[in-house]
Structure 1
Amino acid sequence: MEKEQLTAQIGSRLKKIRKHNGLNLEEAASITGVSKPMLGQIERGESNPTVGTLWKIANGLNVPFTSFIEAERPAVTRVDYKELETLEGDHGGFHVKPVFLKDQYTPFEAFYVDIDPLKSYYSEAHPKGVEEYIFLKEGTMQVRFDENCFTLEKGDALRFEANKDHVYENIGETPASFTMIIYYVR
């Protein structure tokens, strides 16, 4: 991205965030510590703010620094299954296709997962507050953590706090396919 485009994007995002928060330039200046004229120049794309200035604005408006420079989220995102990359588990038999990844707008990730017959996958604990949602599309599988063991059949779903080590195991003779959502507490 060229410098002029980046400056325009930063200004556009600043204005959008400020208006979304119901602030006029004077109020934004008061909470960010950046002068009203400077904020106006940034919003109009007339001034290329320093990193320090952007940090002051981000902190004052309580938004991530990257809010000003990340690509804007489209209103609709279509995912073509045939174009998804497959990631393999460490010991084979566990195939993951990332569908939607966590970003500043979305507090979750979504994956399509296939486990080969009679294979399992061990997952280390996630940070406290992370939840997993499993929607079994095909097959039979178990999800185990602590002393808990849940057997799922086609159409079943499971939600659990994922801050402990857990295992997904296909206990059937056919592949198990499920959708997994990992939700991160904000």
Structure 2
Amino acid sequence: MTDKNSPPQIGPRIQDIRKQKGFTLEQLASHSGVSRSMLSQIERGQANPTFATLWSLTQALGLEISDLTGGVAEVHHQAIEVMMPNFTPEIKSEDGLCDLKILSPTDQVGRVEWYEISIEAGGKLVSEPHTNGSMEHLTAFNGRFQVVSGKAKTEVPTGGTARYASDVSHTISNPGQETARGILVVVS
């Protein structure tokens, strides 16, 4: 039995659905554009998929992202949707020092995405270029961040906001001694 406050086990759920639909790893990788090795790591719970990766997998499997949670992810009260904390998708860096909670709705993927970002002291989030013309907006709530976008580099102190191109290789790191937290908005 799973604790109702723990995050859903998305990887094993993807594997179950893939097998139910009769897909091999290679077939799902081909249909989704997600590499076979990444898909295997996700299914074993060794990698946390990005929102874009989840989107590609759900489209290839003919699912909604909420189908992967194995339960009701949203509570509806008239015209207000509430995403429960334990159903908020989360991305962790390989070293475990960076954490992104995906706060944006699925219908905004590829246009506007926003994340709660947390990077422990010494942590670094390295990103490949996003789509042409993409911009990121990082606001530091506490601690401080360092941003490198292409050849430009700056520090973002508590309360500050950095706006920078994300259609080039870019990095967000924490040069401070405390965990840095903020909001990251990606506009494509």
Interval containing the TM-score (normalised by the shorter chain): 0.5 to 0.7
Bigger radius of gyration, 1 or 2?
1
Shift of residue 91 of structure 1?
Answer: 2.6
Structure 2 residue 153 is the aligned partner of structure 1 residue 154:
no
Task: Please show how residues 133-148 of structure 1 align to structure 2 within 5 Å.
Answer: 133-148=137-152
How far apart are the structure 2 equivalents of 1:105 and 1:86?
A: 15
1:84 match: 88
- What SS class does the counterpart of residue 100 from structure 1 fall into? coil
Instruction: Report the Cα distance in structure 2 between the residues aligned to 1:139 and 1:107, rounded to whole angstroms.
Output: 28
Question: What is the TM-score of this pair, normalised by structure 2?
Answer: 0.54
> How far apart in 2 are the matches of 1:108 and 1:75?
21
Identical-pair percentage: 20
How far, CA to CA, are the matches of 1:175 and 1:151 in structure 2? Answer: 15
TM-score by length of structure 1 reads 0.54
Decide which of 90, 103, 109 is 2:107's aligned counterpart.
103
Question: 1:128–1:75: structure 2 CA closer, same or farther, 3 Å change rule?
Answer: farther
CA drift of 1:161 comes to 1.8
1:118 — aligned with what?
122
With over 3 angstroms needed to count, the CA separation of the structure-2 counterparts of 1:88 and 1:121, relative to structure 1, is same
Change (3 A) 1:161 1:145: closer
Give the match for residue 43 of structure 2: none
CA-based RMSD of the aligned residues comes to: 2.7
Partner Cα distance (1:103, 1:135) in 2: 23
Residue 167 to residue 80, structure 1, CA distance change in 2 (3 Å): same
Equivalent pairs counted in the alignment come to 114
Structure 1: stretches of 5+ with no match in the other structure: 1-69
Q: In structure 2, do the counterparts of structure 1 residues 76 and 106 end up closer, same or farther at CA, with 3 Å as the change threshold?
A: farther
* 2-structure distance, mates of 1:148, 1:102: 31
User: 1:90, CA displacement in angstroms?
Assistant: 2.2
Letter aligned with residue 178 of structure 1 = G
| 1:134 to 1:84, Cα distance in 2 relative to 1, 3 A | same
**1:147 positional shift:** 2.1
**How far apart are 1:178 and its partner, in Å?**
1.1
The separation in 2 between residues aligned to 1:146 and 1:130, in whole angstroms, is 13
What is the identity, as a one-letter code, of the residue corresponding to 2:123?
A: K
Question: Which of 131, 134, 150 is residue 130 of structure 1 equivalent to?
Answer: 134
Distance 1:120 1:163 in 2: 18
Alignment gaps of 5+ in structure 2: 1-63, 65-77
**Helix, strand or coil: the match of 2:81?**
coil
CA contact (8 A) 2:145 2:155 kept: yes
How far apart are 1:83 and its partner, in Å?
A: 4.4
Q: Is 1:171 aligned to residue 136 of structure 2?
A: no
